[in-house]
Chains A and B, each alone.
Chain A
Amino acid sequence: MAEGQSPLAQFEIKTLVPIEIGGIDASFTNSSLFMVLTVITVSLFLIGGMRRSSMVPGRWQSMAELSYVFIANMVKDNVGSEGRPYFPFIFTIFMFILVGNFWGMMPYSFTFTSHIAVTFAMAFFVFVGVTLIAIAKHKLHFLTFFMPPGVPMVMAPLLVPIEIISYLSRPISLSVRLFANMLAGHTLLKVFAGFIISLGVAAGWLPFVFVVALTGLEFVIAFLQAFVFAILTCLYLNDALHLH
């Protein structure tokens, strides 16, 4: 067995171009590289798909339109017409995570969504943005957020901290869900792939079948987690726009 080939080695950040701005390490890493690749892929996919926008779409245009309609319907169903202005943001976040996850499925690639720093930054941005929208729209009425209607005042000292904690846990659960799913899935793939070699010809086919099945599952998860991230952003936005 090859030493140093830990199943976690795939998540290692490698500096490609060292950059330092004011004592802060802002190097261009393999993570940054795959983010850039993701942005380029999404841009090519959408711009290329709509380059010759025809009445009857071809395959490529259909795919681009399908992804648009998918998120547009999600926003319409979960947020309503007030969600329209935020559609670009949700669409961007969905495509970024989705294509990032799919890039991670390529052998020898790097999955940037498997890093809590990346997912938490996105979730935190969503959280702060949604909170600011709620405050801007409802002003002080926003504070009733933390006091469900029909609760006796006696319960308030207990209930308000619970609601605040519940509210603050949103970005954490949002980011951990994406990060842990990607981390666990990719680690599992590596572990089972390692078994193939160590078990040899005799029993190596068993983990091999497993890896094939897991790869399929991992593609589903890659889509599902992007979907969950987008739909939860929609739901949080819906809460911010339509306070009870």
Chain B
Amino acid sequence: MTSDSDPSGQSPKDLDDFGQKLKKARESEETRRLWKSNVNKAPNSALGLAFRVSVELVSAVAVGFAIGWGLDWLLGTGPWLMVVFIILGFAAGVLNVYRMAVGMNNAIGYSEKDDASTTDKVE
């Protein structure tokens, strides 16, 4: 992008014209598509992907544990809610990983944008 913004050897009155051309080039479909394909997707190495998967899994289990432990502490229901919520947390973790694998989006709900770069859409 920087290289084509160097109008060496142009007189100042050509600059307006040049600016227009630059703007047009930037707005062209080709450029937008290029931007999309490069920007929308994080370049995932295998290691990075594995790391993300494990973080998604573990963080959900940790949240489940925290909720269960907190509720047990509040209600005095022994270890039982903790056990239940760890299992739920694991399920949530698998859900997170599944959503991550489907798109970049590990979001709740299924509100993927229509024109997102991922082709498969979950309904």
Q: How far is the CA of A238 from the CA of B110 in the complex (A)?
A: 12
Count residues of A near B (Cβ-Cβ below 8 Å): 45
Interface of B is mostly: helix
Q: How far is the CA of A66 from the CA of B55 in the complex (A)?
A: 31
- Which residues of the partner chain A approach B63 to less than 8 Å between Cβ atoms? 165, 168-169, 172
- Which residues of the partner chain A approach B95 to less than 8 Å between Cβ atoms? 162-163, 166
- Which residues of the partner chain A approach B2 to less than 8 Å between Cβ atoms? 59, 62, 66
Q: With A177-B55, A180-B55, A239-B111 as given contacts, are A56 and B92 in contact (CB-CB < 8 Å)?
A: no
What's the nearest-Cβ distance from chain B to residue A233, in Å?
12
Count residues of B near A (Cβ-Cβ below 8 Å): 44
Q: How far is the CA of A163 from the CA of B42 in the complex (A)?
A: 25
Interface of A is mostly: helix
Q: With A162-B92, A167-B108, A173-B106 as given contacts, are A56 and B15 in contact (CB-CB < 8 Å)?
A: yes
What's the nearest-Cβ distance from chain A to residue B63, in Å?
5
Q: With A59-B2, A239-B111 as given contacts, are A78 and B40 in contact (CB-CB < 8 Å)?
A: yes
Q: With A173-B55, A173-B59 as given contacts, are A165 and B108 in contact (CB-CB < 8 Å)?
A: no
- Which residues of the partner chain B approach A148 to less than 8 Å between Cβ atoms? 109-110
List B residues at the A interface (Cβ < 8 Å): 1-2, 5-7, 15, 18-19, 35-36, 39-40, 42-43, 48, 51-52, 55-56, 58-60, 62-64, 67, 85, 88-89, 91-93, 95-96, 104-111, 113, 123
List A residues at the B interface (Cβ < 8 Å): 55-57, 59, 62, 66, 70, 73-74, 77-78, 80, 145-146, 148-150, 158, 161-163, 165-170, 172-173, 176-177, 180-181, 224, 227-228, 231-232, 235-236, 238-239, 242-244
